[in-house]
Protein backbone atom coordinates (compact mmCIF):
# COMPACT_ATOMS: atom_id res chain seq x y z
CA UNK A 1 0.00 0.00 0.00
CA UNK A 2 1.19 3.56 -0.78
CA UNK A 3 2.34 5.61 2.21
CA UNK A 4 -0.27 8.32 1.46
CA UNK A 5 -3.23 5.93 1.31
CA UNK A 6 -1.98 4.21 4.46
CA UNK A 7 -2.21 7.58 6.23
CA UNK A 8 -5.75 8.05 4.91
CA UNK A 9 -6.74 4.61 6.23
CA UNK A 10 -5.16 5.37 9.63
CA UNK A 11 -6.98 8.71 9.77
CA UNK A 12 -10.29 7.09 8.87
CA UNK A 13 -9.77 4.38 11.46
CA UNK A 14 -8.96 6.84 14.22
CA UNK A 15 -12.09 8.85 13.33
CA UNK A 16 -14.27 5.71 13.43
CA UNK A 17 -12.67 4.63 16.72
CA UNK A 18 -13.16 7.98 18.41
CA UNK A 19 -16.82 8.00 17.33
CA UNK A 20 -17.22 4.42 18.64
CA UNK A 21 -15.46 5.35 21.90
CA UNK A 22 -17.95 8.12 22.56
CA UNK A 23 -21.04 6.07 21.82
CA UNK A 24 -20.22 2.63 23.21
CA UNK A 25 -18.55 1.63 26.47
CA UNK A 26 -15.45 -0.48 25.96
CA UNK A 27 -16.43 -4.06 25.17
CA UNK A 28 -15.30 -7.36 26.77
CA UNK A 29 -12.52 -9.23 25.04
CA UNK A 30 -12.87 -13.03 25.37
CA UNK A 31 -9.13 -13.76 25.55
CA UNK A 32 -8.40 -10.95 28.01
CA UNK A 33 -11.20 -12.23 30.24
CA UNK A 34 -9.83 -15.77 30.17
CA UNK A 35 -6.32 -14.46 30.79
CA UNK A 36 -7.56 -12.72 33.96
CA UNK A 37 -9.15 -15.93 35.29
CA UNK A 38 -6.07 -17.98 34.29
CA UNK A 39 -4.18 -16.00 36.90
CA UNK A 40 -6.62 -16.65 39.74
CA UNK A 41 -6.24 -19.67 42.06
CA UNK A 42 -8.44 -22.67 41.13
CA UNK A 43 -10.51 -22.66 44.33
CA UNK A 44 -13.54 -20.90 45.92
CA UNK A 45 -11.42 -17.87 46.85
CA UNK A 46 -10.27 -17.57 43.23
CA UNK A 47 -13.73 -17.65 41.64
CA UNK A 48 -15.25 -15.45 44.37
CA UNK A 49 -12.66 -12.66 44.36
CA UNK A 50 -11.29 -13.53 47.80
CA UNK A 51 -14.68 -14.18 49.44
CA UNK A 52 -14.39 -17.98 49.28
CA UNK A 53 -13.65 -18.72 52.92
CA UNK A 54 -16.21 -16.56 54.75
CA UNK A 55 -19.99 -16.88 54.89
CA UNK A 56 -20.58 -15.77 51.29
CA UNK A 57 -20.48 -19.19 49.54
CA UNK A 58 -22.97 -20.70 51.98
CA UNK A 59 -25.31 -17.69 51.99
CA UNK A 60 -25.13 -17.60 48.19
CA UNK A 61 -25.86 -21.33 47.74
CA UNK A 62 -28.76 -21.28 50.20
CA UNK A 63 -30.31 -18.24 48.50
CA UNK A 64 -29.99 -19.95 45.12
CA UNK A 65 -31.47 -23.25 46.32
CA UNK A 66 -34.39 -21.46 47.94
CA UNK A 67 -35.21 -19.44 44.85
CA UNK A 68 -34.88 -22.44 42.53
CA UNK A 69 -37.17 -24.50 44.79
CA UNK A 70 -39.64 -21.63 44.90
CA UNK A 71 -39.68 -21.49 41.09
CA UNK A 72 -39.78 -25.30 40.67
CA UNK A 73 -41.41 -26.66 43.86
CA UNK A 74 -41.49 -30.16 42.42
CA UNK A 75 -37.70 -30.29 42.97
CA UNK A 76 -38.07 -30.14 46.79
CA UNK A 77 -36.90 -33.47 48.17
CA UNK A 78 -38.07 -32.89 51.73
CA UNK A 79 -41.34 -31.45 53.09
CA UNK A 80 -41.15 -27.66 53.03
CA UNK A 81 -43.38 -24.61 52.91
CA UNK A 82 -43.02 -24.35 49.12
CA UNK A 83 -43.53 -28.04 48.36
CA UNK A 84 -46.99 -28.50 46.82
CA UNK A 85 -49.33 -30.90 48.63
CA UNK A 86 -49.60 -32.80 45.38
CA UNK A 87 -46.32 -32.15 43.58
CA UNK A 88 -46.13 -32.53 39.81
CA UNK A 89 -44.87 -36.08 39.33
CA UNK A 90 -41.30 -36.22 38.04
CA UNK A 91 -41.19 -39.14 35.63
CA UNK A 92 -37.81 -38.40 34.10
CA UNK A 93 -34.32 -37.29 35.14
CA UNK A 94 -34.07 -33.52 35.70
CA UNK A 95 -31.19 -31.94 33.76
CA UNK A 96 -29.33 -28.69 34.43
CA UNK A 97 -26.44 -26.84 32.83
CA UNK A 98 -24.05 -24.67 34.89
CA UNK A 99 -22.30 -22.19 32.57
CA UNK A 100 -19.13 -20.22 33.34
CA UNK A 101 -18.97 -22.72 36.17
CA UNK A 102 -15.47 -22.06 37.56
CA UNK A 103 -14.47 -24.89 39.91
CA UNK A 104 -17.99 -26.33 40.06
CA UNK A 105 -19.24 -24.45 43.12
CA UNK A 106 -22.84 -23.96 41.87
CA UNK A 107 -22.94 -27.53 40.54
CA UNK A 108 -21.94 -29.06 43.88
CA UNK A 109 -23.60 -26.64 46.33
CA UNK A 110 -26.83 -25.82 44.48
CA UNK A 111 -27.70 -27.99 41.49
CA UNK A 112 -26.71 -31.51 42.61
CA UNK A 113 -28.96 -31.07 45.65
CA UNK A 114 -32.00 -30.63 43.41
CA UNK A 115 -31.44 -32.20 39.96
CA UNK A 116 -30.14 -35.50 38.56
CA UNK A 117 -27.75 -34.60 35.75
CA UNK A 118 -25.56 -31.51 35.38
CA UNK A 119 -23.52 -30.37 32.41
CA UNK A 120 -20.75 -28.03 33.61
CA UNK A 121 -19.25 -25.58 31.09
CA UNK A 122 -16.08 -23.58 31.76
CA UNK A 123 -13.31 -22.22 29.48
CA UNK A 124 -10.36 -21.93 31.91
CA UNK A 125 -8.25 -25.11 32.00
CA UNK A 126 -7.17 -24.93 35.66
CA UNK A 127 -10.78 -24.31 36.80
CA UNK A 128 -12.41 -27.11 34.82
CA UNK A 129 -9.45 -29.36 35.77
CA UNK A 130 -10.12 -28.67 39.46
CA UNK A 131 -13.89 -29.19 38.99
CA UNK A 132 -13.23 -32.55 37.30
CA UNK A 133 -10.76 -33.52 40.05
CA UNK A 134 -13.33 -32.70 42.76
CA UNK A 135 -16.09 -34.56 40.92
CA UNK A 136 -13.85 -37.59 40.29
CA UNK A 137 -12.66 -37.63 43.92
CA UNK A 138 -16.30 -37.69 45.03
CA UNK A 139 -16.74 -40.91 43.05
CA UNK A 140 -13.71 -42.70 44.50
CA UNK A 141 -13.05 -44.45 47.80
CA UNK A 142 -9.88 -42.41 48.33
CA UNK A 143 -9.71 -39.47 50.74
CA UNK A 144 -10.77 -36.18 49.20
CA UNK A 145 -8.14 -33.66 48.05
CA UNK A 146 -7.14 -31.00 50.59
CA UNK A 147 -9.66 -28.30 51.29
CA UNK A 148 -12.55 -30.17 49.72
CA UNK A 149 -15.31 -29.97 52.31
CA UNK A 150 -17.86 -32.47 51.05
CA UNK A 151 -18.35 -35.14 48.44
CA UNK A 152 -20.59 -34.15 45.56
CA UNK A 153 -24.08 -35.50 46.15
CA UNK A 154 -25.08 -38.69 44.31
CA UNK A 155 -21.80 -39.16 42.45
CA UNK A 156 -20.36 -42.09 44.42
CA UNK A 157 -23.80 -43.75 44.50
CA UNK A 158 -24.13 -43.16 40.72
CA UNK A 159 -27.62 -41.69 41.15
CA UNK A 160 -26.51 -38.32 39.73
CA UNK A 161 -24.01 -37.27 37.07
CA UNK A 162 -21.83 -34.35 36.04
CA UNK A 163 -20.43 -33.94 32.52
CA UNK A 164 -17.49 -31.52 32.19
CA UNK A 165 -17.16 -29.41 29.03
CA UNK A 166 -14.44 -26.91 28.21
CA UNK A 167 -15.65 -23.97 26.13
CA UNK A 168 -16.75 -20.33 26.13
CA UNK A 169 -20.31 -19.01 26.20
CA UNK A 170 -19.67 -17.22 22.91
CA UNK A 171 -19.63 -20.62 21.18
CA UNK A 172 -21.54 -22.89 23.58
CA UNK A 173 -24.95 -24.06 22.33
CA UNK A 174 -26.95 -25.81 25.08
CA UNK A 175 -29.01 -27.64 22.43
CA UNK A 176 -25.80 -29.21 21.15
CA UNK A 177 -23.28 -29.08 24.03
CA UNK A 178 -20.55 -31.09 22.30
CA UNK A 179 -20.33 -28.76 19.26
CA UNK A 180 -17.25 -26.51 19.19
CA UNK A 181 -16.30 -27.52 22.75
CA UNK A 182 -14.10 -30.17 24.39
CA UNK A 183 -15.72 -32.86 26.55
CA UNK A 184 -13.33 -33.42 29.46
CA UNK A 185 -15.21 -36.28 31.12
CA UNK A 186 -18.20 -37.45 33.13
CA UNK A 187 -18.64 -38.74 36.68
CA UNK A 188 -21.47 -40.62 38.43
CA UNK A 189 -24.63 -42.01 36.79
CA UNK A 190 -24.16 -43.55 33.36
CA UNK A 191 -27.10 -43.12 31.01
CA UNK A 192 -28.08 -46.15 28.88
CA UNK A 193 -28.25 -43.86 25.87
CA UNK A 194 -26.38 -40.66 24.99
CA UNK A 195 -28.22 -37.92 26.90
CA UNK A 196 -25.89 -34.98 26.18
CA UNK A 197 -28.09 -33.20 23.65
CA UNK A 198 -31.44 -33.83 25.37
CA UNK A 199 -31.97 -30.16 26.42
CA UNK A 200 -32.32 -28.76 29.95
CA UNK A 201 -34.86 -28.14 32.71
CA UNK A 202 -32.60 -25.54 34.36
CA UNK A 203 -29.94 -23.31 32.76
CA UNK A 204 -27.87 -21.62 35.51
CA UNK A 205 -25.75 -18.57 34.64
CA UNK A 206 -23.90 -16.98 37.57
CA UNK A 207 -21.22 -14.30 37.67
CA UNK A 208 -20.03 -14.94 34.11
CA UNK A 209 -22.41 -13.16 31.69
CA UNK A 210 -20.45 -9.89 32.05
CA UNK A 211 -17.89 -11.52 29.74
CA UNK A 212 -20.41 -11.28 26.88
CA UNK A 213 -21.07 -8.09 24.96
CA UNK A 214 -24.73 -7.23 24.32
CA UNK A 215 -24.80 -8.94 20.95
CA UNK A 216 -23.23 -12.19 22.21
CA UNK A 217 -25.45 -12.09 25.29
CA UNK A 218 -28.60 -11.82 23.15
CA UNK A 219 -27.46 -14.67 20.90
CA UNK A 220 -26.62 -16.81 23.96
CA UNK A 221 -30.03 -16.15 25.57
CA UNK A 222 -31.81 -17.12 22.33
CA UNK A 223 -29.85 -20.39 22.18
CA UNK A 224 -30.74 -21.02 25.86
CA UNK A 225 -34.44 -20.48 25.22
CA UNK A 226 -34.39 -23.02 22.38
CA UNK A 227 -32.63 -25.52 24.67
CA UNK A 228 -35.35 -25.48 27.37
CA UNK A 229 -36.81 -28.96 27.60
CA UNK A 230 -40.31 -27.96 28.61
CA UNK A 231 -41.50 -24.53 27.40
CA UNK A 232 -44.07 -24.43 30.24
CA UNK A 233 -41.83 -25.36 33.18
CA UNK A 234 -38.11 -25.16 32.38
CA UNK A 235 -36.21 -22.03 33.42
CA UNK A 236 -33.13 -19.95 32.80
CA UNK A 237 -31.63 -18.52 35.99
CA UNK A 238 -29.37 -15.47 35.84
CA UNK A 239 -27.56 -14.46 39.06
CA UNK A 240 -25.31 -11.45 38.55
CA UNK A 241 -23.89 -8.28 40.09
CA UNK A 242 -25.80 -5.04 39.49
CA UNK A 243 -24.47 -1.52 39.19
CA UNK A 244 -26.97 1.29 39.78
CA UNK A 245 -29.21 2.47 36.92
CA UNK A 246 -28.70 5.90 35.33
CA UNK A 247 -30.01 8.81 37.37
CA UNK A 248 -33.06 9.02 35.09
CA UNK A 249 -33.76 5.31 35.78
CA UNK A 250 -32.40 4.13 32.40
CA UNK A 251 -30.08 1.17 31.82
CA UNK A 252 -26.38 1.52 32.62
CA UNK A 253 -23.35 -0.62 31.78
CA UNK A 254 -19.86 -0.19 33.24
CA UNK A 255 -16.71 -1.69 31.70
CA UNK A 256 -14.29 -3.30 34.18
CA UNK A 257 -10.76 -3.19 32.83
CA UNK A 258 -9.30 -5.63 35.34
CA UNK A 259 -11.14 -8.68 33.92
CA UNK A 260 -12.47 -7.15 30.67
CA UNK A 261 -16.12 -7.55 31.64
CA UNK A 262 -19.32 -5.50 31.79
CA UNK A 263 -21.33 -4.81 34.94
CA UNK A 264 -24.97 -4.17 34.01
CA UNK A 265 -27.65 -2.36 35.99
CA UNK A 266 -31.08 -3.88 36.73
CA UNK A 267 -32.61 -2.03 33.75
CA UNK A 268 -29.73 -3.10 31.48
CA UNK A 269 -30.40 -6.76 32.37
CA UNK A 270 -34.13 -6.33 31.82
CA UNK A 271 -33.49 -4.72 28.44
CA UNK A 272 -31.20 -7.64 27.49
CA UNK A 273 -33.93 -10.14 28.50
CA UNK A 274 -36.63 -8.30 26.51
CA UNK A 275 -34.38 -7.88 23.46
CA UNK A 276 -33.74 -11.65 23.47
CA UNK A 277 -37.47 -12.44 23.71
CA UNK A 278 -37.25 -13.84 27.26
CA UNK A 279 -40.09 -13.53 29.75
CA UNK A 280 -39.07 -12.44 33.26
CA UNK A 281 -41.00 -14.75 35.61
CA UNK A 282 -39.68 -13.51 38.94
CA UNK A 283 -36.66 -11.86 40.57
CA UNK A 284 -35.00 -11.85 44.01
CA UNK A 285 -32.33 -9.70 45.58
CA UNK A 286 -29.71 -11.88 47.30
CA UNK A 287 -29.48 -10.80 50.93
CA UNK A 288 -26.87 -11.43 53.59
CA UNK A 289 -23.66 -10.69 51.65
CA UNK A 290 -20.83 -8.65 53.24
CA UNK A 291 -21.23 -4.87 52.90
CA UNK A 292 -19.48 -3.00 50.11
CA UNK A 293 -20.21 -5.51 47.34
CA UNK A 294 -22.43 -4.86 44.34
CA UNK A 295 -26.09 -5.81 44.80
CA UNK A 296 -26.68 -9.32 43.44
CA UNK A 297 -29.98 -10.33 41.88
CA UNK A 298 -31.46 -13.60 40.68
CA UNK A 299 -33.74 -13.50 37.64
CA UNK A 300 -35.91 -16.46 36.59
CA UNK A 301 -36.67 -16.44 32.86
CA UNK A 302 -38.05 -18.52 30.02
N1 LIG B 1 -20.15 -19.32 38.23
C2 LIG B 1 -19.04 -19.69 39.07
C3 LIG B 1 -17.72 -18.99 38.68
C4 LIG B 1 -17.76 -17.49 38.74
S5 LIG B 1 -16.18 -16.75 38.34
C6 LIG B 1 -19.39 -19.44 40.52
O7 LIG B 1 -20.36 -18.70 40.78
O8 LIG B 1 -18.70 -19.97 41.38
C9 LIG B 1 -16.44 -16.30 36.62
C10 LIG B 1 -16.25 -17.46 35.69
O11 LIG B 1 -16.56 -17.07 34.36
C12 LIG B 1 -14.84 -18.01 35.68
O13 LIG B 1 -14.86 -19.37 35.91
C14 LIG B 1 -14.36 -17.69 34.27
O15 LIG B 1 -13.41 -18.58 33.77
C16 LIG B 1 -15.67 -17.74 33.50
N17 LIG B 1 -15.59 -17.08 32.19
C18 LIG B 1 -14.82 -16.05 31.81
N19 LIG B 1 -15.00 -15.76 30.50
C20 LIG B 1 -15.90 -16.63 30.04
C21 LIG B 1 -16.50 -16.88 28.76
N22 LIG B 1 -16.19 -16.13 27.70
N23 LIG B 1 -17.37 -17.90 28.65
C24 LIG B 1 -17.69 -18.66 29.74
N25 LIG B 1 -17.17 -18.48 30.96
C26 LIG B 1 -16.28 -17.48 31.12
- pLDDT (0 to 100) of residue 117: 98
- pLDDT (0 to 100) of residue 143: 66
- pLDDT (0 to 100) of residue 141: 75
What is the Cα 110 distance to its own chain's centre?
Answer: 12
Distance 145 CA to ligand 1 centre (A): 23
Mutate to test the pocket of ligand 1, among 97, 208, 209, 215 (most ligand atoms within 8 A of CB): 208
The residue-averaged pLDDT of 66-75 equals: 94
- pLDDT (0 to 100) of residue 8: 52
Residue nearest to atom 3 of ligand 1 (CA): 102
Do the Cβ atoms of 301 and 239 come closer than 8 Å? no
Ligand 1: residues within 6 Å at CB? 30, 33-34, 37, 47, 100-102, 105-106, 122-124, 127, 168-170, 206-208, 211
Mutate to test the pocket of ligand 1, among 97, 100, 106 (most ligand atoms within 8 A of CB): 100
Residue nearest to atom 12 of ligand 1 (CA): 102
- pLDDT (0 to 100) of residue 209: 98
222-260 as b/e: b if 16+ CB within 10 A: ebbbebbeeeeebbbbbbbbbbebeeeeeebbbebeebb
Percent of the chain scored above 90 by pLDDT? Answer: 78
Q: Is the pLDDT of residue 282 over 90?
A: yes
Residue nearest to atom 21 of ligand 1 (CA): 168
Residues 6+ apart with CB under 8 A from 46: 40, 52, 102, 103, 127
Q: Is the pLDDT of residue 134 over 90?
A: yes
Share the mean pLDDT of the chain.
90
Distance 79 CA to ligand 1 centre (A): 34
- What is the pLDDT confidence band of residue 144, given thresholds at 50, 70 and 90? low
Task: Output 261 or 75, whichever has higher pLDDT.
Answer: 261
Distance 44 CA to ligand 1 centre (A): 12
Distance 47 CA to ligand 1 centre (A): 8
Side by side, the strands of the sheet bearing 280-285 are: 182-188, 161-166, 117-122, 95-99, 202-206, 235-242, 295-301, 280-285
Task: Output 11 or 111, whichever has higher pLDDT.
Answer: 111
Task: Output 5 or 231, whichever has higher pLDDT.
Answer: 231
The residue-averaged pLDDT of 254-258 equals: 97
8-61 pLDDT, tens digit per residue, is 555 454 444 444 444 567 999 999 999 999 999 999 999 999 999 999 999 999
**Ligand 1 nearest atom to the CA of residue 98, by list position:** 1
- pLDDT (0 to 100) of residue 23: 59
CA angle (165, 171, 177) in 5-degree steps:
40
CA angle (155, 156, 162) in 5-degree steps:
20
Q: Is the pLDDT of residue 2 over 50?
A: no
Q: Is the pLDDT of residue 150 over 50?
A: yes
- What is the pLDDT confidence band of residue 148, given thresholds at 50, 70 and 90? low
Percent of the chain scored above 70 by pLDDT? Answer: 89
- pLDDT (0 to 100) of residue 14: 46
180-201 pLDDT, tens digit per residue, is 999 999 999 999 988 888 999 9
Distance 122 CA to ligand 1 centre (A): 6
- pLDDT (0 to 100) of residue 289: 97
Amino acid sequence: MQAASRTVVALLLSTIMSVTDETLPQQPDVQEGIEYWNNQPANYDGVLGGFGTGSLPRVDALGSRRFLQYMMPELCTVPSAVRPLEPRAIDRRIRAVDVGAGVGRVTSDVLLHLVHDVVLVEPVESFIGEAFRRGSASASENPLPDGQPTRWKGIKEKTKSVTFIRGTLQTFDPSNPGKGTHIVGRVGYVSPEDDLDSKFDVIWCQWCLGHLNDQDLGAFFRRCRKALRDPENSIIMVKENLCTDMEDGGPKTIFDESDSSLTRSDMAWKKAFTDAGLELLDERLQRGFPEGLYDVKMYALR
